[in-house]
Chains A and B, each alone.
Chain A
Amino acid sequence: MKSVTEGELQPQPFADTDESAAPTSSAPRRRRRSMKMTLGLSILAVYIAVALLAPIVAPYNPLAQQIPDALAHPGMHHLLGTDQLGRDVLSRIIYGARVDLVAATAASLGACIIGTFVGLLTGYAGGWLDIVLTRIMDMVQTIPSFTLLLVLLLVLGPGAKSLVIALIVTHWVVYARLIRGSVLTLRSQDFVAAARLAGLRTSRILVRHLLPNVGRQAVTYLASDIILAVTAIASLGYLGIGIQPPTAEWGSMINDGQDFLSSNWWLSVAPGVVVVVLGLGLALVSDSFNERKDSS
């Protein structure tokens, strides 16, 4: 590491000017940030559009089996080829968006709402409610989400609805902790005291005054949470759990394709790429949202 330590070192010669801090609002940085946001949002828009318009966009019925055409290579008739039952891969991926994206978004939104609610309550009220709920949160977080999901799915049975519920139960805790932390910080601030002095009911204080301030954090995490939920759904699908065949789901498609890795590798790779790009879009949006919050 020859010149490594002769690298960036910023002395602070002038007390009033701050040359050494990275200026978050310089023009080129702002442009980069909005490029990120635009790119991210466009990616998400494409996914949402595809999911909504699946019946129109998909060339084939995702469940239609054409055994004679099985394992076709990508070509004119099937842009991404067909799987081992002759189903068109592209259509299955498109319809998969309906499953994965919708389930994940539903789960994350549910977790967000419940988690925010609990976070507001425990943060604001404190007392035994806080202690009990925090202990419960500890316990839920101690169990790796994968095993907890399995236990919950055992109880709830198979299917998309149980999956969404199980994911909500697993994911709400992070939101609750986040919001609780914010509420604890804000609770002692003046505007809350003012509201209480004015005699406002607790629920009104929570909703009108605290929620807008802490809500932003929850929404920022939502983007990361959605991709985590998609990954969870796909992982379970890969293992044959959760969304059941023959429904087109990205994870189970990857599993189906694993037997044909040497000949038809795109069967497993393509659905994964779709997930990665979705993650990229969400990460870009979440990042640029974060950066904007920092510099304001």
Chain B
Amino acid sequence: MARLRYVGKRLLYVVLTLWGVSLLLFLLLHALPSTPGQLMLGEAATPDQVVAINHALGYDRSMVSQYASYMGGLLHGDLGTSYLFQRPVSDELRIALPVTLKLAVFALILDVVVTVPLATIAAMRKNKPVDHAIRAIPLIGIGMPPFWTGTILLVIFAIAFKIFPAGGLEHGFGGTLRSLFLPALTQTIVASAILTRSLRQSILEVLQSDYILTARAKGVRGLRLVVGHVLPNAVVPTLSLLSVLFAGLIGGVLITESVFALPGIGSMVVQAFQVYDIPLVSGITLVTAALILVMNLLLDVLYSLLDPRVVLR
């Protein structure tokens, strides 16, 4: 029950932060040197045409009145109309967002699947060759830009060996998995480099504790010891790290979409940027901010579920 109350409070905080972000975006985008009319019509437009467009978009009204209608729109889920597509931004997002979400979730799952075993093995075989090998990876991994890693993976697995598609999103469950695997893996290489180090350290600390000794004294060993006693205690600090890294993760996902030509909001925002489609860019920014906030909330709740000593305030 206290947990639900906490979630409620946090959601309120999410809304407030989003409002702050929207205000920030509004101010920033109205600091543009050119008017929307000029941007949409380009160099060839006559001054009259520009004025007409600006009037139609309401750009010549006062800032306050513009902001009022902007906020009004937001409350109704209206994020404005895209210059590029001439359709409501929310419509465009409705198509593109699920792709990005699927990729993000897949990437997270892959992160866990890769990090947990690597960190566990490295910790259990501390200072042996395996451990040193696993610890050396982050040194290289941190310098690998996701888009480059994605390109390399493309070369090897999609072009040379043709195991995975070279881009685009295939249909159906299996097709989706195949299309999203390489992009997700790209992101995992970077994320797991950082997370493995943290989890390994955490596991080492847990292994020194008395309750692990007690569990072993009870005869608990092997997988049961790791899954039942070591990991539940060890993942907790790494979860905090994950919530800090998450914003960066999403950024990486957005860029990777362009490498693999996936029709998500990452590719979309790049296109929108190139044509100065302000409503679309700001709409996407708002949505990604909301994504981050919700994810952090989920991670905090997960944190409290794992460690009963945590009190959510």
Contact = CB atoms under 8 A, between A and B. Distances in A.
Contacts, number: 173
A144 B32 CA distance: 21
Interface residues of B, number: 63
Nearest to A268: B151
Task: Tell me if B's interface is mostly helix, strand, loop or mixed.
Answer: helix
Contact of A251 (B145, B154, B155): B145
A119 interface: no
Interface in A2-21: 2, 4-11, 20
Nearest to B144: A276
Interface stretch (B23-31, B62-70, B172-180): B23-31
B72 to A, nearest CB: 21
Interface in A81-124: none
Interface string A109-144: 000000000000000000000000001001101111
A143 B140 contact: no
A11 B255 CA distance: 48
A261 B159 contact: yes
Contacts of A265: 155
Given A5-B225, A155-B29, A261 B154 contact: yes
Given A145-B251, A235-B255, A261-B154, A157 B33 contact: yes
Interface string B278-297: 10011011001100110000
B126 interface: yes
A277 interface: yes
Task: Tell me if A's interface is mostly helix, strand, loop or mixed.
Answer: helix
Given A151-B29, A155-B28, A146 B254 contact: yes
A224 B222 CA distance: 37
Contacts of A142: 17, 21, 247, 289, 292-293
B223 A235 contact: no
Given A9-B213, A142-B292, A144-B247, A154 B222 contact: no
Given A143-B289, A145-B251, A151 B25 contact: yes
Given A7-B124, A8-B126, A235-B145, A283 B17 contact: no
B264 interface: no
9 contacts: A142-B21, A147-B251, A151-B281, A151-B282, A152-B28, A154-B278, A238-B148, A268-B152, A272-B144
Interface of B: 17, 20-21, 24-25, 28-29, 31-33, 124-126, 138-140, 142-149, 151-152, 154-155, 159, 207-208, 212-213, 216, 221-223, 225-226, 247-248, 250-252, 254-255, 258-259, 266, 269-270, 273-274, 276, 278, 281-282, 284-285, 288-289, 292-293
